[in-house]
C-alpha cells in the first residue's frame, strides 16, 4: 500500500472542509521523481480509473523492491471541483466561487527563483537544478494563501515542481488519446507518446504561455534557460497534459491498459526497475499548436457531427453541422463547419449538444502552421 497523506484545505463555509489525498511509493527524495495527478477538472475520471489500476501494480513493484525513484500520485486532485453538484448535474471545470478555470493561474515561479538564485547559476547543471528546485520550494512554502483554491494550487505545485516528470491526467468530451506539451520536450518525450499509444501530440512552441498546471511546470525551466543563457539550465522536468480520451471512456479494459502503459513508461525512465519490452510504434508525429485548427460554432443551435473522433480529415471537409431547429427551410436550417487543415480530428463534443456562437466544437491536429491560429494558445474553453 502507498504511504497516504491527507492535506487539509482551508474551510470556506462553516461545517465543511475538504482535503487533498496524496499517495507515495518509493523513498522520499529518491530520483527520478514522477508526479501524477488526475482530474483537475473534477469530473474527468479516465485518469482516476487508470490510477485505480496502477496503484496495485505499484504496490506489487514496491514489494519486490523495484521502485528505484519516488512516485507521488494524487488519485483525484480537486476535491473543490468534486463538491460542485448543481441540480443533479455536476459542474467541475470552473470554480463556482471565483468562476476561474481550475486549470489556470498556477503560481509563476520565475521571478522569485531568479531573485533568489539567478546570480549563483553557473556551468554545473546538476548543482543548478538542485538550487533552482530548492528556491522554488522555499518560495512556495512561504506563500500564505487565504482561499482554498489558491492553497490547493500551491500544494499541487509544491509536490510537483521538483519532479523529473509531471503527468497531469485530463480528458475531453469525446476524444482520441492525446498529449499537450512543450516543444522543448519533443522529440525527447517520444517514448511517452509511443508507450501511451496516443493518436496526437500537440506542442506549444517554444513552451506554454498560459499558467495551466502542466504549463507552469513545463515552461519554468525553459524560461530560466532564456533568462540565463550563459548558465547550464537543463529542461529538468518533463511536464505533460495527458488527455485520456472522452469523459465517458471509463471502463476496466481501458483503465487496465492505460495503467500498464504508465507503468512501462515509468520503467523506461528508470523510476521502476524491470524491462518494459519493445517500445510500441509511435502512431503519429507531434504537431505544433499553431497548426491546430479549432472549430468555433458560428451560431447557436444543435450540434451534430459528420466525422467520428480520430478521423483523418482534409482541408474543406465538413466536420459538423449546427442545426437551427426553428428553421423549417432545408436550404438554410443547417450550417456546416469545415476543417481548415489536413490532420487528425482528435477532439470534439458529443452529438446533440446545445451550442452557442464561439463555443469550441472540435480540434484538429495538423502539421502546417495556420495563419488564423498564429499566436493563439488553443486554451479557449
Q: Which residues bind Zn ion (CB under 5 A)?
A: 41, 44, 170
Q: Which is nearer to Zn ion, 103 or 339 (CB)?
A: 103
- For the bound state, the minimum distance from the C-beta of residue 180 to Zn ion, rounded and expressed in Å, comes to 10
Q: Which is nearer to Zn ion, 44 or 95 (CB)?
A: 44
Q: What is the dihedral of CA 78, 349, 105, 158, to 10 degrees?
A: 40
CA distance 235 to 238: 7
Residues in the chain, total: 381
- For the bound state, the minimum distance from the C-beta of residue 39 to Zn ion, rounded and expressed in Å, comes to 8
Asked if 302 and 322 count as a contact pair (C-beta separation under 8 A), the reply is: yes
**Largest distance between two CA atoms of the chain:** 71
- For the bound state, the minimum distance from the C-beta of residue 347 to Zn ion, rounded and expressed in Å, comes to 11
CA distance 95 to 358: 21
Q: Which is nearer to Zn ion, 44 or 258 (CB)?
A: 44
Q: Which is nearer to Zn ion, 76 or 170 (CB)?
A: 170
Q: Which is nearer to Zn ion, 53 or 170 (CB)?
A: 170
Q: Which is nearer to Zn ion, 49 or 113 (CB)?
A: 49
- For the bound state, the minimum distance from the C-beta of residue 352 to Zn ion, rounded and expressed in Å, comes to 22
Q: Which is nearer to Zn ion, 170 or 269 (CB)?
A: 170
Give the three-state DSSP class for 171: strand
Asked if 48 and 38 count as a contact pair (C-beta separation under 8 A), the reply is: yes
- For the bound state, the minimum distance from the C-beta of residue 264 to Zn ion, rounded and expressed in Å, comes to 24
The DSSP code for 11 is P
CA distance 156 to 142: 15
CA distance 275 to 244: 25
One DSSP character per residue, 24-55 reads EEE-TT-SSEEEEEE-TTSS--HHHHHHHHHH
- For the bound state, the minimum distance from the C-beta of residue 254 to Zn ion, rounded and expressed in Å, comes to 17
- For the bound state, the minimum distance from the C-beta of residue 286 to Zn ion, rounded and expressed in Å, comes to 20
Tell me the H-state helices in the chain.
Answer: 46-63, 79-82, 110-117, 125-142, 148-160, 190-196, 213-227, 252-268
Query: Alpha carbon of 210 to those of 101, 168, 275: distances in Å?
Result: 12, 15, 37
Q: Which is nearer to Zn ion, 22 or 242 (CB)?
A: 242
Beta bridge partners of 364: 293, 345
- For the bound state, the minimum distance from the C-beta of residue 22 to Zn ion, rounded and expressed in Å, comes to 20
Amino acid at each position: 500500500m502507498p504511504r497516504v497523506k491527507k492535506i487539509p484545505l482551508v474551510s470556506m463555509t462553516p461545517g465543511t472542509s475538504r482535503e487533498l489525498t496524496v499517495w507515495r511509493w518509493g523513498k522520499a527524495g529518491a530520483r527520478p521523481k514522477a508526479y501524477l495527478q488526475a482530474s483537475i477538472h473534477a469530473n474527468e475520471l479516465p485518469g482516476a480509473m487508470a490510477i485505480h489500476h496502477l496503484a496495485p501494480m505499484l504496490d506489487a513493484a514496491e514489494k519486490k523492491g523495484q521502485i528505484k525513484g519516488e512516485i507521488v500520485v494524487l488519485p483525484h486532485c480537486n476535491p473543490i471541483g468534486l463538491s460542485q453538484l448543481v441540480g443533479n448535474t455536476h459542474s467541475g471545470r470552473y470554480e463556482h466561487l471565483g468562476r476561474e478555470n481550475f486549470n489556470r493561474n498556477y503560481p509563476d515561479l520565475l521571478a522569485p527563483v531568479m531573485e533568489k538564485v539567478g546570480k549563483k547559476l553557473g556551468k554545473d547543471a546538476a548543482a543548478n537544478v538542485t538550487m533552482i528546485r530548492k528556491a522554488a520550494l522555499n518560495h512556495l512554502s512561504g506563500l500564505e494563501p487565504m482561499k482554498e483554491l489558491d492553497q490547493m494550487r500551491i500544494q499541487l505545485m509544491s509536490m510537483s515542481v521538483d519532479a523529473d516528470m509531471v503527468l497531469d491526467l485530463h480528458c475531453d468530451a469525446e476524444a482520441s488519446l492525446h498529449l499537450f506539451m512543450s516543444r522543448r520536450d519533443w522529440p525527447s518525450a517520444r517514448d511517452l507518446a509511443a508507450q501511451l499509444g496516443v493518436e496526437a501530440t500537440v506542442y506549444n512552441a517554444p513552451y506554454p504561455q498560459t499558467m495551466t498546471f502542466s504549463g507552469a511546470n513545463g515552461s519554468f525551466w525553459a524560461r530560466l534557460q532564456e533568462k540565463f543563457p550563459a548558465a547550464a539550465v537543463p529542461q529538468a522536468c518533463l511536464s505533460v497534459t495527458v488527455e485520456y480520451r472522452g469523459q465517458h471512456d471509463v471502463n476496466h479494459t481501458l483503465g487496465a491498459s492505460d495503467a500498464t502503459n504508465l507503468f512501462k513508461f515509468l520503467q523506461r525512465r528508470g523510476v521502476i526497475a524491470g524491462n518494459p519490452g519493445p517500445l510500441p510504434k509511435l502512431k503519429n508525429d507531434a504537431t505544433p499548436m499553431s497548426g491546430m485548427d479549432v472549430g468555433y460554432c458560428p451560431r447557436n443551435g444543435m450540434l451534430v457531427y459528420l466525422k467520428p473522433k480520430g478521423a483523418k480529415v482534409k482541408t474543406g471537409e465538413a466536420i459538423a453541422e449546427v442545426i437551427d431547429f426553428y428553421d423549417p427551410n432545408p436550404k438554410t436550417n443547417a450550417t456546416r463547419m469545415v476543417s481548415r487543415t489536413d490532420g487528425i480530428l482528435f477532439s470534439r463534443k458529443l452529438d446533440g449538444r446545445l451550442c452557442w456562437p464561439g463555443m469550441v466544437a472540435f480540434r484538429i491536429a495538423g502539421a502546417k502552421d495556420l495563419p488564423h491560429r498564429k499566436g493563439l494558445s488553443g486554451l479557449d474553453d
